[in-house]
């Protein structure tokens, strides 16, 4: 099944992209994540994270969920731009997106938007396109 459960290919894609995030992309990810927190509140994010964690336990994917969050955050720490910036919030958005991919099918639309939305808004979808499309895992679109 892979290191991250059924969503392994999407999590690997996210982690790979994290290693090459530009300063502009990091700033955009910060803006997208901070905007969601301002609009919905930090309590909504905490509830979405709690729901995702609970879903990972129910689906017996908790180790994969935690590993995805950790590995994505670690990739961001390795790719951190020099100088000061809002890097902690960017890392939080990256970890949220990676974890949400693992339990995507168990989340409702609001939780997906809170946890995965900033990544999608900034970086786009993690859906494979092109010749390999027939062999891809089930779509993660809503």
For residue 137, is it within any domain?
A: no
The whole-chain average pLDDT of the chain stands at 86
Determine, yes or no, domain membership for 11. yes
Buried b (16+ CB within 10 A) or exposed e, 86-104: bbebbbbbbbbbbbbbbbb
pLDDT digits (tens, 9 = 90+) for 102-123: 999 999 999 999 999 999 999 8
Q: Quick one: tokens of 112?
A: 């997906």
Residue 80's pLDDT band (cuts 50, 70, 90):
confident
Q: Is residue 133 part of a domain?
A: no
Q: Does the pLDDT value for residue 81 go beyond 90?
A: no
CA distance 31 to 37: 10
Q: Is residue 34 part of a domain?
A: yes
Quote the domain boundaries for residue 18.
5-80+87-126
Segment among 76-80, 87-91, 126-130, 135-139 with least mean pLDDT: 135-139
The predicted model scores a pTM of 0.84
The answer as to whether 141 is a domain residue is: no
Per-residue pLDDT at 73? 95
User: How many domains, the chain?
Assistant: 1
Does a structural domain hold residue 36?
Answer: yes
């Amino acid at each position: 099944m892979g290191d991250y459960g059924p969503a392994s290919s999407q999590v690997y894609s996210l982690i790979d992209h994290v290693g090459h995030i530009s300063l502009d992309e990091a700033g955009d990810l910060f803006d997208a994540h901070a905007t969601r927190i301002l609009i919905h509140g930090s309590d909504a994010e905490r509830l979405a994270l709690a729901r995702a964690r609970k879903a990972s336990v129910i689906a017996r994917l908790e180790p994969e969920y935690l590993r995805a969050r950790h590995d994505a955050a670690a990739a961001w720490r390795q790719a951190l731009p020099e100088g000061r910036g809002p890097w902690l919030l960017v890392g939080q958005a990256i970890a949220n997106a990676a974890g949400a991919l693992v339990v995507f099918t168990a989340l409702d639309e609001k939780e997906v938007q809170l946890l995965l939305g900033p990544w999608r808004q900034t970086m786009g979808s993690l859906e494979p396109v092109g010749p390999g499309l027939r062999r891809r895992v089930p779509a993660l679109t809503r």
